[in-house]
Chain A
Amino acid sequence: MDNAITLVNKKHINLWPAVLGGGALIILGLVLGGVINQYIQTVLMFIGINIILSASLNIVNGYMGEFSCGHGGFMLVGAYTSSILSVLFFTKSPWLGAPLLPPSSAVFLFPLVIIGGGIVAAFAGLLVAIPSFKTRDDYLAIITIAANFIFVSLVNNLEFIGGSRGFMGMKTTIYAMEDVADLPFTLIWTMVFSTLSVFLIRRLMRSTFGKGISSIRHDEISAEIMGVNTNNMKIVAFMVSSGLAGIAGGLFAHVLGFINPSSFNIMKSTECLVMVYLGGMGSLSGSVLSAVVFTFLLEVMRPLQILKWVIIPLMLILLMQFRPEGLMGNRELTDIFPKLKPYFKRRDL
């Protein structure tokens, strides 16, 4: 048996990095070659951001089986944190005046700014993680909605970051980066972060720890009896989920160059939910696929105007009628195409 596995692994090396790296390089080449214009780049960036959002929400809604509908709130925390950091460090800020660091250093430090937003959002996730120890299902869902409202109202009332007026100035950081090297930095970092997020979630959910998270969905009490520290699992699941949403928010803020609290209200959270249920709960490749399909569909149907909002909900209704488990159910791409399996197998399994 051992021999067989070694043989397979020798024949088919893990193709994940090659496929992703190659794809990213091709896109980059097309961008630099002028084949992909900025409109398509923007769509690609929104796809990347939506991949992070739907995949990260899937940790809680899919794998852990809770119903969180406040993802937009964590996105807001990440977006505002990284925007403030970015403006404070690399541009002339309204609070401190001169940038704290030379603007050109943004080339190297930009990912840290985004990750900083993610970390703060992860801690914001505790706001729903701790109540989740004793609350489940509908009641927890209400808490997550409340969390979303709390964050939106909080920013609405914080005058020094613009309140409802919104916050801007992040684009200057991007310009500073482009002054150093003329590359599509936002696109590159969106691709990098969405790939890393998917990779991180895959590793997490395949680990023993991740199986503990899944066990909560199957039966929380049995899991506890079996020795799974469910509170721990919940904290990790919520923090990773909201932290990644924060990263998505940071990228979103830097793509737009302007954020206001109403961009992250319950509508945004609903959008994330739709993507998760469209793709299939507990299916990582489903979340990725649905983020791509959903973003593309919204963009392609833009010329249809009002009809778009007839067609898309209708498609969702039909999908739920005939395929209630979503596009992929709880399976992965490799379950549907078993031949792909060796290419995506973890070598240390």
Chain B
Amino acid sequence: MRKALLAVVAAALLLMPTVLFANGQSDEKVIKIGFNIPLTGDSPKVGEGTKFAAEIIKEQINGEGGLEVGGEKYMLDFIYVDNELKAESAVSAAYKLIEQDQVLAIVGPDTSSRAIPAGQVANDNRTPLISPWSTNPNTTLDRPFVFRACFLDPFQAPVAVKFADSEFGVEKAAIMYNLEDDYSKTLAGLFKDSWEAINGPGSVVAFESYGQKDQDFSVQLTKIAASDAELLYLPSFYNKVAMIVPQAKDLGWDKPVMGSDSWGSADLVKLSEGAVKGYYFTTHYAAAGAKGATKEFIDTYNAKYGYVPDDVGALSFDAVNIVLQAIQDAGLTGDLKADRVAIKDAMTAITSYPGITGNMTFTPEGDPIKDAVVVKVNDAGEFEFVANLQP
């Protein structure tokens, strides 16, 4: 028993380095793009959205014989690496893609806590990286090789304020946010600033927070319901929204609620049992009533995977296409290091890109300038397009 166990352990130890060292054969006619995405962990749906969107592009292009770069056709090879939604794992994954798999460019990580450290690795190793969904300014700050396909946190809050001002014409707002979540906290702070800039100091009458694991929000909501707020801003993840909104209604809240892009999950209406119907949120794209290329993408995705893509899917679709566009613009020399730099330069040079989540141009920091979309949860539980807005 002991000997057998030792033999197994020894064999495993000996085999491991060979697996680690194993290097994919490089075929000259292949374009390798890495994906650093959460396929396991707390939110595997996010990684799945990115992966499925990428698969749609890959199948389409490889079905046509490959991507044409400089008169030659290259097959696409997408390498999906799981980052488990952990920062250290995202760093290892980035190194694996850059060093081991020798990819030309990386798409992902989707969320900021992973995208900030992984972006550092990509920038240090001169490999272009585009995050579909990371909204934290630090992801791309001072990092010429790091890009993103979505707007920044500072952008959404003023849009929400502007929309609320014109749509409801109210003056007093309440804000409730997740203290332990960077995203929620940032948006809450920014909304407060922009709201007070328009409606004067003191116009945010309640500024309440809750913790990540909280289930009961009655203390905060009672305060909010008792205040003279005419609007509740709730920049929370959809699973929290689904708990907070019904509780607010029970406590007598009957005024409008506005949210942020983290509301945009297919599960929102189901989890909240319809309580969110009639409310608005700012996001990246609206699935209901989409037209043109956006509709085509949604239909393909829905037919293939059986559900309407979340915004992370749509943003990933744009992110991958931007990378492919940059590869076509830059051309390929076969020298990996030079190609990576050329792709980065080409991505910086893209002045205008007609994505399915709207037209975008890139600032020198690698951030896109694009419209935010305001959607309404309609009576059918769909996210209905209301307005395109710039702050």
Contact = CB atoms under 8 A, between A and B. Distances in A.
B117 A256 contact: yes
B21 A40 contact: yes
A300 B95 CA distance: 14
A199 to B, nearest CB: 22
A90 interface: no
Given A302-B93, A305-B80, A263 B13 contact: no
Contacts of B86: 263
- Report whether over half of chain B's contact residues are helix, strand or loop; otherwise say mixed: helix
A258 interface: yes
B154 to A, nearest CB: 13
Contact of B99 (A38, A163, A308, A309): A38
A70 B3 CA distance: 35
Given A39-B99, A165-B185, A168-B116, A300 B92 contact: no
Contacts of B185: 163-165
Interface string A245-276: 00000001001111111110000000000000
A157 interface: yes
B303 interface: no
B20 interface: yes
A327 interface: yes
B198 interface: no
Given A38-B99, A306-B44, A164 B179 contact: yes
B380 interface: no
Nearest to B181: A164
B115 to A, nearest CB: 10
Contact of A262 (B81, B92, B113): B113
B219 interface: no
Q: Which of A39, A296, A303 is packed against the most chain B CB atoms within 10 Å?
A: A39
Nearest to B120: A257
Contacts of B39: 305-306
B125 interface: yes
B77 interface: no
B40 A309 contact: yes
A346 B91 CA distance: 40
B20 A299 contact: yes
Contacts of B5: 323, 327
B40 A37 contact: no
A28 interface: no
Interface residues of A, number: 43
Contacts of B116: 166, 168, 258
Given A256-B117, A257-B120, A308-B40, A156 B92 contact: no
Contacts of B44: 306
B113 A255 contact: no
A293 B9 contact: yes
B93 A156 contact: no
B251 interface: no
Interface in B79-94: 80-82, 86-88, 91-93
A302 B82 contact: yes
Contact of A39 (B19, B87, B100): B100
B9 A327 contact: yes
A246 to B, nearest CB: 17
B73 interface: no
Contacts of B99: 37-40
A293 B13 contact: yes
Contacts of A327: 5, 9
Contacts of A299: 20, 92
A40 B113 CA distance: 23
A255 B118 CA distance: 12
A42 B21 contact: no
B40 A39 contact: no
24 contacts: A38-B98, A39-B20, A43-B20, A43-B92, A157-B179, A163-B182, A163-B185, A164-B181, A164-B185, A165-B185, A166-B116, A252-B88, A255-B88, A256-B88, A257-B117, A258-B117, A260-B113, A289-B9, A299-B20, A300-B19, A302-B96, A305-B39, A306-B39, A327-B9
Interface of B: 2, 5-6, 9, 12-13, 16, 19-21, 39-40, 44, 80-82, 86-88, 91-93, 95-96, 98-100, 113, 116-117, 120, 124-125, 136, 138, 179-182, 185-186, 211
* 5 tightest A-B CB contacts, nearest first: A39-B95, A37-B99, A39-B99, A258-B117, A165-B182
Given A153-B180, A299-B92, 10 more contacts: A40-B99, A163-B185, A164-B179, A165-B136, A261-B180, A262-B113, A300-B16, A308-B40, A308-B82, A336-B6
